[in-house]
């Protein structure tokens, strides 16, 4: 079975948000258009406690963008974002959510960040997504959302690692781009790991044709 995984389309990653991704709101229409074409739609939310170790504000004298070591792992410091239950942590208001079957929350452990939808950055604790996909017989995953160069990238790499047929809907993703070119490099890395890069129009077009011929 095929599923669509909608990654972190949350207010704090949209223009005006705490960790705004340029043009981030452009992914909402793509996510909404694709949902009816999938048997299963699931989503993730970045879901941090206020004392999360990835927040620069929780480290005296540190600024967003600086690198620290957090519990043995290299960690980029971010502005305070997606704090559990705050308006910034909510899914975008314009995102269709009625069809979302299940939401997986990540980044809940204050001592380790979690870019991947499958597990934390140390791969110590799983989110439950991998087991869910297996239980449901989902072997093909289409991913889109925010941000290309962090949560989409690491989720896609883990999906490839798990042996799933993994697709990235490129026009449904936007990147943080701390360094110009990060999103392009991330896409190349995903492709090298075995992910297929697709455009939403291919999915919409194919689905229309198969329905017409049915
Ligand atoms: C993300 C940075 C920090 C993301 C989450 O969703 O890509 N990026 N937390
Ligand atoms: Zn985060």
Q: Is 141 helix (H, G, I), strand (E, B) or coil?
A: strand
Per-residue pLDDT tens over the stretch 141-157: 999 999 999 999 999 99
- Flag whether 68 is in a domain: no
- Flag whether 111 is in a domain: yes
**From the CB of 146, is ligand 1 less than 6 Å away?**
yes
- Flag whether 15 is in a domain: yes
- Flag whether 66 is in a domain: no
Residue 116 carries which DSSP code? S
171 classed as catalytic:
no
User: Which atom of ligand 1 is nearest to 10's Cα?
Assistant: 6
**From the CB of 43, is ligand 1 less than 6 Å away?**
no
Q: With 70 as the cut, is the pLDDT of residue 209 above it?
A: no
Give the rounded distance of the alpha carbon of 172 from its chain centre: 11
d(CA 25, CA 30) in angstroms, rounded, equals 10
Per-residue pLDDT tens over the stretch 66-111: 999 999 999 999 999 999 999 999 999 999 999 999 999 999 999 9
Q: What pLDDT, on a 0 to 100 scale, did the predictor assign at position 214?
A: 41
Averaged pLDDT score across all residues of the chain? 96
- Flag whether 75 is in a domain: no
94 classed as catalytic:
no
* 160 confidence band (pLDDT: 50, 70, 90): very high
Domain membership of residue 39 as a residue range? 2-49+91-213
- Flag whether 19 is in a domain: yes
Q: With 50 as the cut, is the pLDDT of residue 165 above it?
A: yes
Q: Is-above-0.85 flag for pTM? A: yes
d(CA 173, CA 177) in angstroms, rounded, equals 12
For 168, other C-beta atoms within 10 Å of its C-beta total 24
Distance 107 CA to ligand 2 centre (A): 6
**H helix intervals, 17-166:** 26-34, 129-136, 153-161
CA-nearest of 10, 24, 2 to 172 is 24
- Flag whether 140 is in a domain: yes
CATH number at residue 119: 3.40.50.850
- The number of domains in the chain is 1
151 classed as catalytic:
yes
Give the closest ligand to the alpha carbon of residue 13: 1
- Flag whether 142 is in a domain: yes
Q: With 80 as the cut, is the pLDDT of residue 32 above it?
A: yes
Distance 55 CA to ligand 2 centre (A): 8
């Amino acid at each position: 079975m095929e599923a669509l995984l909608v990654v972190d389309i949350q207010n704090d990653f949209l223009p005006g948000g705490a960790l705004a991704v340029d043009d981030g709101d452009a992914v909402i229409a793509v996510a909404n258009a694709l949902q009816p074409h999938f048997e299963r739609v699931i989503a993730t939310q970045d879901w941090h406690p206020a004392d999360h170790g990835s927040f620069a504000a929780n480290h005296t004298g540190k600024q967003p963008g600086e690198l620290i070591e957090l519990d043995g792992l290299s960690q980029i410091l971010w502005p305070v974002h997606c704090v559990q239950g705050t308006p910034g942590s909510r899914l975008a208001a314009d995102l269709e959510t009625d069809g979302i079957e299940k939401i997986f929350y990540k980044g809940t452990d204050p001592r380790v960040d979690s870019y991947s939808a499958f597990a934390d950055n140390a791969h110590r604790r799983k989110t439950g997504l991998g087991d869910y996909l297996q239980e449901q017989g989902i072997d093909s995953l289409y991913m889109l959302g925010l941000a290309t160069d962090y949560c989409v990238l690491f989720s896609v790499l883990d999906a490839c690692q798990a042996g799933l047929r993994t697709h990235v809907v490129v026009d449904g993703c936007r990147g943080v781009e701390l360094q110009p070119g990060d999103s392009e490099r991330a896409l190349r890395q995903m492709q090298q790991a075995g992910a297929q890069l697709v455009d939403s129009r291919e999915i919409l077009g194919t689905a229309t044709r198969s329905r017409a011929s049915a």
